[in-house]
Structure 1
Amino acid sequence: MRKRYLPIVLLISLLATACSKLDEQPRAILVNEQFYLDEAQAVAAVTGTYRKLYETGQSLYNGLFQIGVEMATDDYEAGPRARNAHVRAISNLTHDASNDRMEQLWKQSYDAINASNLNIVAIEKIPADKIDATIQKRLILEARFLRALHYFNLVRWFGDVPLQLQPIANLSKEELQVAKSTEEQVYLQIIADLQAAEALPNYKAYGDMDRGRASSGAAKSLLAKVYLTQKDYAKAKAKAAEVIEQEGYELFEEFADVFNVEKKNGKEHIFSAQFKGNVGYQGNALAGRSAPADIPGINGDYADALHVQGGLYEAYEKTDARLAVTFTLGKVSPVDGKYYALPTPQFNKYYDDAVVGNQSQSSKNLLIIRYAEVLLIFAEAENELNGPTAAAKEALNAVRQRAKTTLLTSSTSKDAFREAVFEERRKELVYEYQRWFDLVRRGADYYVAKLKAAGKNNASARHLHFPTPQRELNLNPNLKQHPDWINH
């Protein structure tokens, strides 16, 4: 990690308004010794750290996941207007350690981790007469949740990575030239942070201005996903069951409501990247990236495209309520009132009818984890432990029933049920940054077979991870390239 990760000056891009629900205003640009003096500053600092999830530009949860990760799957490809050679290389699986999207994934994740580390250390030092003890504890746990989320992404993308738990303070070699920790060590820290964060308030305890902050349910849900990724199915099932039984989440009755701006941070939304258009450039970039480019007045980029050979669109039943929300086959031009059919389906989840012609200002949130996924985590873990039991089918069918698709009622094998859950995840969570993670956790044979079946013939076992960015290797002699990417 290098100088650019260091917030010696606490940059108040970190303290800009994070979203419509996390509304702390920036105060000033202050050195660390002048900041974290009281409760208001501590709240503002942590609020700003949420913004690192979805800052404008190609930030982690505002487009970078899509162009840096999801393009390397069977469901997505670089669209006609994705002209960046690095993005097209990922889509074609010809990327290497020099790819600038890999560099950004690494850089932005560690920047956010360092901000969380600073929050954890500095907020704990605020005198008791300057901050309410309950708020102080909550803010530290929010920072630990965010740190865990970023490390969970990093370890899945890159394998072994440096584990930095203190804010960088003086640019010494010891701080900047950190060797990698093992995946096991990183996961132990992720789990420790999330277990601590389980003590956060229930999401219903937050007032309107704080909706969208990390909660007990968010920590438990992410922890269930961590356990599932590690194939610790007993713990994954138990934690998912705890969320289902204790946290008070529900599915929306209609799938369209999951992406209804008026119902953001609602009963199904466990943790989301928060967007609000026309307020400081805080729109959801995916809406414009996927919107049609050739319909008068739509002004879309069409940089994120469906990889048609993957067969995703055809996998849906015709009655599936998710089809019309997830995809569009054409739109009416706001200029001439004519309907323009599209040659292939295009993604539509984040298209915001309130800002037709300027989708960069879409106010639709990006769902990082939601209740439907927790149900599918439970179904998958239960099946791995006990086969397709009634409880596993009930969880899967809850998602299918809301989608208005055929329920699973007949007997089936453990292997068949596993595939049914994975296909349900694919259809339910498409364009929500899930597909690459799902494919790679099934292993190299599964990943390669799926991509080659979709015509992406460059896929190989090394694509289960991304290469450590070459720029990082050049600047830190203690870093080593991932073994699968040596000499590639």
Structure 2
Amino acid sequence: MKKYIKFFMTGGLLILSIGCKKDLSLVNKSAYTYDTYFTSDAAINQAVIATYAGLLHTGLWAREWYYTFDLLGYDAKNNQPLVGDLLQLAQYNFGPDLDIMDENWSSLYQIIARANVVIDRAQNAWKPANATETTDQAQYIGEAKFLRAYAYFQLVNLYGRVPLHTQFIAQPTPAEINLPRSPVADVWALIEKDLQDAEKGLPVTYAAANYGRATQGAAVALLGKSYLYEKKWGQAQTELTKLTQAPFTYALAPVYNNLFDDPNQDNPTLNPETIFQVMNQQWTDWGIGNQYYLFGGQETWGGKATHSDRAQEYGFNDWSNVYITTTAVKAFTYPNPQNPSVNYVDPRAAFTFYGDAASGGQTQYCQQCSTGPVAYPYATKGYMWLKYEYYNKVATFGGPQSGINGQVIRYADVLLMLAEAYIQQGNTGTQPLALINQVRSRPSVNAPLYTSLGSQTEAMTILMRERQLELTGEQSRYFDLIRWGIAKQTINTERQIEDGTQPFQDKNVLFPIPLAEKNANGTVAKDISGDWN
């Protein structure tokens, strides 16, 4: 019983009444809580899948990710319809109040928060009932640690010092909410430890129904990449070399475009190259859902809606928001490795962009349409994107939705990173030469092979160009230029030639800490210099 006191007026007199009533504030014992829900294999698996779903939230792979780093790395340039946040990116004219920065930061930390739930609950709330569940437990924790490492990998490269949230706290204190930024070395240490743990807990392969989940190879690849970014060349070499040996069976996709074509990219025979990709329609019961979910309706519009908008937004016969830069196009023409006095047009151009015959770009589209191939209208369209497009199958799209997965790490990238690890240690001999030539000798490319890489400086020039050509439009170049320390000079030189601007400033080597984070975390706000980072 709970006592209550009433005050009421009657006849001008104040009457006080004291009585009792039943306490109706009862706990719903059937409601799920943090303590009671995550106690089974199925529940932990759902939490893992929800962590993957963060990869397709605003600021990341559903839409903003490819715009952000294709534009900043100057693989892409804006067409006139490009407006708002995206135009500010294209012009390097943005600050901490840019929505895309906040979305990027928030979605990466959302992945971290969900990963922390999985790690905590899988270890402390769920008691596996048998050997199969014990194996699943190790896998789920490994997946969560891989995804947490992936998120921190992006955060430390984009923002430098960031708060380290390593556990889920249901009712955090003000001090736990207002965590300070940790030193960059501490962030890298967590990334390394998470990936080392993930490597031990993840399987080499999955059954077809679970295709797309992080594997042991994905953990090895991201760890090797992390060492490379930290300039730990020897450790990078050791880790990346693992992927060229048993038990791993990665190989280059014989047809380059099978990496970017639905459904061939999900066929291990046609595409044995993918190590980790962001899966659109990741799970068997997930579909396109609402086609406009990627404009902010994740997990609210159409339920399990996961897809990318890149095909529609980049498409030359659709929204045509961006071009491939003339700079990127020209990179595909360079001195023939076996006859440097003669220029050579790299065959990867025809898999990367639409253009004219002289540029090496694809000159036809709709090859699989019922009407037959159609000549690409280069005279009116100029150079436009082919990679990640459906124009071999359709003349135009029906809406902003694409099931083509986003490549995060693939075997060609690993081979080139491994070659770089050798070169950075002063080895320009047979090992890096063979790795670079292996990428060039893909059957659908079959480019002339190098007979020598020359000096360390010459070898790095070759390696840099090879990465640019192989990974154009895969959000790689921006990160490469930043870590090589040549972003400002390279971007400004290219932009000066192409549009008469030099937009890259010294501060652009890091993103600004988002305004929303500064408003929410006073400790971080006090640690920011010049309203940037």
Normalised by the shorter chain, which TM-score bucket?
0.7 to 0.9
User: Residue 200 of structure 1 contacts residue 215 of structure 1 at CA under 8 Å; is this kept in 2?
Assistant: no
Give per-residue Cα distances to partners, 1:85-128, cap 9 Å, x unaligned. Answer: x2211211121111111111111110111000001101112023
Aligned equivalent of 1:248: 249
Counterpart residue type for residue 449 of structure 1? Q
Structure 2, gaps ≥5 residues long = 1-30, 290-304, 334-343, 356-362, 496-500
Q: Secondary structure at the match of 1:213?
A: coil
Aligned equivalent of 1:400: 440
**Distance change >3 Å, CA 375–CA 169, structure 1 → 2:** same
Q: State percent identity of aligned pairs.
A: 26
Residue pairs, 1:404-423, within 5 angstroms: 404-423=446-465
Residue pairs, 1:77-156, within 5 angstroms: 77-84=77-84, 86-124=85-123, 125-129=125-129, 132-156=133-157
Give per-residue Cα distances to partners, 1:47-70, cap 9 Å, x unaligned. Answer: 221111124xx4412222223343
User: Residue 69 of structure 2 contacts residue 476 of structure 2 at CA under 8 Å; is this kept in 1?
Assistant: no
Displacement of 1:404 after TM fit? Answer: 2.2
User: Residue 96 of structure 2 contacts residue 532 of structure 2 at CA under 8 Å; is this kept in 1?
Assistant: no
Once residues 194 and 447 of structure 2 are traced to their aligned partners in structure 1, the CA distance between those partners, rounded to angstroms, is 38
Give per-residue Cα distances to partners, 1:454-485, cap 9 Å, x unaligned. Answer: 12402122111001012211221100477664
The answer to whether structure 1 residue 341 and structure 2 residue 377 are counterparts is: yes
**Distance change >3 Å, CA 191–CA 105, structure 1 → 2:** same
Which of the residues 348, 352, 357 maps onto 2:390?
352
Give per-residue Cα distances to partners, 1:220-270, cap 9 Å, x unaligned. Answer: 111111011011100111111111123211111221222232333431000
Once residues 522 and 40 of structure 2 are traced to their aligned partners in structure 1, the CA distance between those partners, rounded to angstroms, is 40
Residue pairs, 1:461-472, within 5 angstroms: 461-472=506-517
User: Residue 138 of structure 2 contacts residue 202 of structure 2 at CA under 8 Å; is this kept in 1?
Assistant: no
**Distance change >3 Å, CA 332–CA 144, structure 1 → 2:** closer
Give per-residue Cα distances to partners, 1:302-348, cap 9 Å, x unaligned. Answer: 2233232xx11111146533222211236658899864514321112
Once residues 67 and 262 of structure 1 are traced to their aligned partners in structure 2, the CA distance between those partners, rounded to angstroms, is 23
Aligned equivalent of 2:20: none
Q: Secondary structure at the match of 1:410?
A: coil
Aligned equivalent of 1:268: 273
Which of the residues 437, 453, 459 maps onto 2:479?
437
Aligned equivalent of 2:321: 303
The answer to whether structure 1 residue 283 and structure 2 residue 299 are counterparts is: no
Aligned equivalent of 1:19: none
User: Residue 128 of structure 2 contacts residue 137 of structure 2 at CA under 8 Å; is this kept in 1?
Assistant: no
Please identify, of 262-271 and 385-394, the stretch whose mean Cα deviation from structure 2 is larger: 262-271
Once residues 480 and 423 of structure 1 are traced to their aligned partners in structure 2, the CA distance between those partners, rounded to angstroms, is 40
Structure 1, gaps ≥5 residues long = 1-28
Aligned equivalent of 2:24: none
User: Residue 214 of structure 1 contacts residue 271 of structure 1 at CA under 8 Å; is this kept in 2?
Assistant: yes
Count matched residues. Answer: 447
Residue pairs, 1:364-375, within 5 angstroms: 364-375=404-415
Counterpart residue type for residue 210 of structure 2? D
- What TM-score does the superposition give when structure 2 sets the normalisation length? 0.79
Aligned equivalent of 2:233: 233
Which of the residues 316, 322, 347 maps onto 2:348?
322
User: Residue 290 of structure 1 contacts residue 304 of structure 1 at CA under 8 Å; is this kept in 2?
Assistant: yes
Displacement of 1:396 after TM fit? Answer: 0.5
Q: Secondary structure at the match of 1:61?
A: coil
User: Residue 78 of structure 1 contacts residue 91 of structure 1 at CA under 8 Å; is this kept in 2?
Assistant: yes
Please identify, of 383-392 and 272-281, the stretch whose mean Cα deviation from structure 2 is larger: 272-281
Counterpart residue type for residue 111 of structure 2? A
Q: Secondary structure at the match of 1:422?
A: helix
User: Residue 38 of structure 2 contacts residue 121 of structure 2 at CA under 8 Å; is this kept in 1?
Assistant: yes
Counterpart residue type for residue 316 of structure 1? F
The answer to whether structure 1 residue 313 and structure 2 residue 353 are counterparts is: no
Displacement of 1:279 after TM fit? Answer: 3.1
**Distance change >3 Å, CA 481–CA 360, structure 1 → 2:** farther
Aligned equivalent of 1:16: none
**Distance change >3 Å, CA 349–CA 482, structure 1 → 2:** farther
Counterpart residue type for residue 154 of structure 2? N
Aligned equivalent of 1:20: none
Counterpart residue type for residue 273 of structure 2? E
**Distance change >3 Å, CA 171–CA 404, structure 1 → 2:** same
Once residues 251 and 39 of structure 1 are traced to their aligned partners in structure 2, the CA distance between those partners, rounded to angstroms, is 35
Please identify, of 117-126 and 352-361, the stretch whose mean Cα deviation from structure 2 is larger: 352-361
Please identify, of 226-235 and 360-369, the stretch whose mean Cα deviation from structure 2 is larger: 360-369
**Distance change >3 Å, CA 119–CA 413, structure 1 → 2:** same
- What TM-score does the superposition give when structure 1 sets the normalisation length? 0.86
Please identify, of 247-256 and 328-337, the stretch whose mean Cα deviation from structure 2 is larger: 328-337
Once residues 399 and 256 of structure 2 are traced to their aligned partners in structure 1, the CA distance between those partners, rounded to angstroms, is 21
Once residues 450 and 411 of structure 1 are traced to their aligned partners in structure 2, the CA distance between those partners, rounded to angstroms, is 22
Higher helix share: 1
**Distance change >3 Å, CA 187–CA 352, structure 1 → 2:** same
Counterpart residue type for residue 514 of structure 2? P
**Distance change >3 Å, CA 452–CA 218, structure 1 → 2:** same
The answer to whether structure 1 residue 189 and structure 2 residue 225 are counterparts is: no
**Distance change >3 Å, CA 374–CA 274, structure 1 → 2:** same
Aligned equivalent of 1:165: 166
Please identify, of 322-331 and 158-167, the stretch whose mean Cα deviation from structure 2 is larger: 322-331
Aligned equivalent of 1:14: none
Once residues 487 and 140 of structure 1 are traced to their aligned partners in structure 2, the CA distance between those partners, rounded to angstroms, is 35
The answer to whether structure 1 residue 43 and structure 2 residue 45 are counterparts is: yes
Which of the residues 411, 415, 418 maps onto 1:378?
418
Counterpart residue type for residue 278 of structure 2? A
Aligned equivalent of 1:33: 35
